[in-house]
Each structure stands twice: as C-alpha cells, then as structure tokens.
Amino acid sequence: MDDKQYLVDELNVKDTWRMFHILAEFVEGFEVMPEVYPAVTIFGSARCKPQSKTYKTTHRLSRLLVENGFNVISGGGPGVMEAANRGASEAGGKSVGLHIHLPSEQKPNEYANVRLEFKYFFIRKVMFVKYAVAYVILPGGFGTLDELFEALTLIQTKRIRSFPVILMDSGFWSGLMEWLKNTLIKRKTISKNDLDIFQVIDTPEEAVEIIKRIVVV
C-alpha cells in the first residue's frame, strides 16, 4: 500500500465506525497481554542491521531477560525489534510483537511467538506501558524517542507507577544527556531530580541486574 492510498483509506472511514475498531484493538490487547507477565519492553531502531553491535547487544539482552524469568515485548518489526523477539524466542520465552500497520518500513519479523496487530499508535502505546515491568531503550530514531519521552512524562507526572527506564549505549545517548543537563535543567524546564527517572548503561548484564533488583518475579 502506498502513502496516498493509505491516507485515502483513513479519510474514508467515518469516526463512528472507527470507534468499533479502536474498541476491538483494546479488547484483544487486554485479553492477550496479561498472559505475558512479567515482561520487559525493548525499543530501538527498525533500521538496525543483524551484523551491527546494537542488534547483537539486543539479542543478548533479550536472551538474558528470558533466562532470568522475564518475557520480552517489542514493536514486532525489523531491526532492534527483531533482535529482541529473536533472542527471547530462542531462549524459550514469550516473545511478543506488537506490530503496527504503516504504509512503509514496518514489516513484522518472524520471531514473535505472541503477536498482536494494531492500526492505532495510541492503543499500541497503552499495551507497551501497561504490561511492562521495565523499559529498555536501545539507539533509535523518532519512534524510539517518542516511546522514551512518553514513559518519562507519565512517570514524572505520576500517571503510571514508577518502573525501570534504562537507556543502553552511553555513547549514543551522551548528546541527549548533555542537552538535558545543560539546557533543560539550566532553564528550569525540568528539575534535576527528573534525571533520576531513568538510567544510562552499556551492557545487557547491567540492565538485567537493575531490573531484577527492582522487580520481583
């Protein structure tokens, strides 16, 4: 489906009928997702290649999570999402792919053994955050940043329970950290304590230890 046809199809759906589709996606998610507890949601770039360090790190991370009693949730697509689902399924865990229908780029990977299909981003976001005991954020683009800052905002404003939010690869996140410290904090648009909501680390082993220390399974 090309971009033009995708937009035409969206415009042709009346809002009243769209509500039934929205409800159906919520109902399916609420029925399936409790079965994957406890699960860690992993985010990162769809453009990450299997030979890359990020892909290999994600694969190891998801295997370690399963070996330590956790299941894994990803967006169900390629790149980091594929690595997350692959590691979890190979380790014998529940490997959840919350796949979103997009006009380009997002295609489902073959490693999710629990799969849900979504048309609406906001419903998918609810499933990510509602059924995760932790978030691990690998290098990524706009979508990854969107999920990261949504979680930080919800925790900061106490709209959801606090849970581990872990950024992996300190080199990738260093520029963001400098901006947060030298711009947002200095201009008082966030407080210094807001940086305590998340942690920046470099290895899968560190991530698993943080999650195990906070989350009892």
Instruction: Give one DSSP letter per residue of 16-82, joined into a string.
Output: HHHHHHHHHHHHHHHHHGGGG-SEEEEE--TT--TTSHHHHHHHHHHHHHHHTT-EEEE-SSSTHHH
How many independent structural domains does the chain possess? 1
pLDDT at residue number 2: 60
Q: pTM of this prediction? A: 0.89
Q: What is the mean pLDDT of each run of 10 residues along the chain (217 residues)?
A: 59 74 95 96 96 98 97 96 98 96 76 94 95 97 96 95 96 97 96 96 97 85
The pLDDT, as a whole number, for residue 16 is: 78
pLDDT tens track for 146-186: 999 999 999 999 999 999 999 999 999 999 999 999 999 99
Q: Please tell me the predicted confidence (pLDDT) of residue 101.
A: 80
Structural domain of 146: 3-214
Q: What is the CATH number of the domain that holds 191?
A: 3.40.50.450
